[in-house]
Amino acid sequence: MKILCIGDVVGEPGRRAFREVVPGIRARGEAQAVVVNAENAAGGRGITGAIAEELFAAGADAITLGDHTWDQKDAGAFLSRERRAVRPANYADACPGRGWAAVATPVGTIVVANLLGRVFMNPVDNPFHAIDRLLAGPIPRDAPVLVDFHAEATSEKIAMGRHLDGRVAAVWGTHTHVQTSDAKVLPKGTGYVTDVGMTGPADSVIGREVGPVVRKFLTDMPAKFDVAKGPCELCGCLFDVDPATRLCRSAAAVRYAVP
């Protein structure tokens, strides 16, 4: 099973890149299932039901989120009804939505889980304990498990990969919007990459217009960071998962330029 996990879609430019690239990837058989992080898909902040439909129509099988999950006001209602979209599992149980989902794809059911890191981020429950509880309990054992770990620190993400090695098909990082060059299969068979990178404007500071971000660092004054324009990149990681073992045969970072 060739499963493409795509990094943070940023605003309308990122959605355009997704719409232009993903249908071709699927048509050519380069990926048979697609998971996409869409926490920045709505103007850079959060997601809406309409935007989720746009991504599903363009070839997403499942959507993951992150620290921007609640930025749009209909996020709670959307996550309560849409079972193909997951929010971090280590948010409070009282939050709307689910931290994992079993999703049907053309190559069979996959389980997609989402976790949020705690290093250099706002406080949340322990993500290591959260995924252990899911794997010990509700997550079905007969489908490959794919984990989007939305986190800032490389050490926390590598540690999560090692913690889950041999227990899930793949762990990939999102949130930094910068692709790392460490895609690999870990010793016990889990596919891993520290960050898949973003899907959005290439001429930017992690998806935002350059000028205001640089000014902010020069002045420390409050500033509005609009989503940048122009040519985009679509970044992700392709995991080849063996349906028999539910572990990973190969992991390769991918990046598509979208003029």
Q: Which residues bind Fe ion (CB under 5 A)?
A: 8, 40, 66-67, 175
Note whether 206 and 177 are within 8 A (CB). Answer: yes
Going by C-beta distance under 8 Å and a sequence separation of 6 or more, which residues neighbour residue 90? 99, 115, 116, 124, 125, 126, 127, 129, 130
Nearer to Fe ion, 8 or 209 (CB): 8
Mark whether 163 is an active-site residue.
no
| Nearest distance from C-beta of residue 28 to Fe ion, angstroms | 27
| Nearest distance from C-beta of residue 63 to Fe ion, angstroms | 13
Nearer to Fe ion, 9 or 158 (CB): 9
Nearer to Fe ion, 40 or 179 (CB): 40
Structure tokens at 102: 């079993």
How many CA atoms are closer than 13 Å to the CA of 91, on its beta-carbon side?
20
Q: Could you give the CA distance from residue 211 to residue 153 in angstroms, rounded to a whole number?
A: 26
Identify the active-site residue in 68, 150, 175, 177.
68
| Nearest distance from C-beta of residue 5 to Fe ion, angstroms | 14
| DSSP string for 2-62 | EEEEE--B-HHHHHHHHHHHHHHHHHTTS-SEEEEE-TTTTTTS---HHHHHHHHHTT-SE
Nearer to Fe ion, 61 or 148 (CB): 148
Phi and psi torsions of 228, nearest 5°: -70, 170
Note whether 154 and 180 are within 8 A (CB). Answer: yes
| Nearest distance from C-beta of residue 8 to Fe ion, angstroms | 4
Residue nearest to Fe ion (CB): 8
Catalytic residues: 68
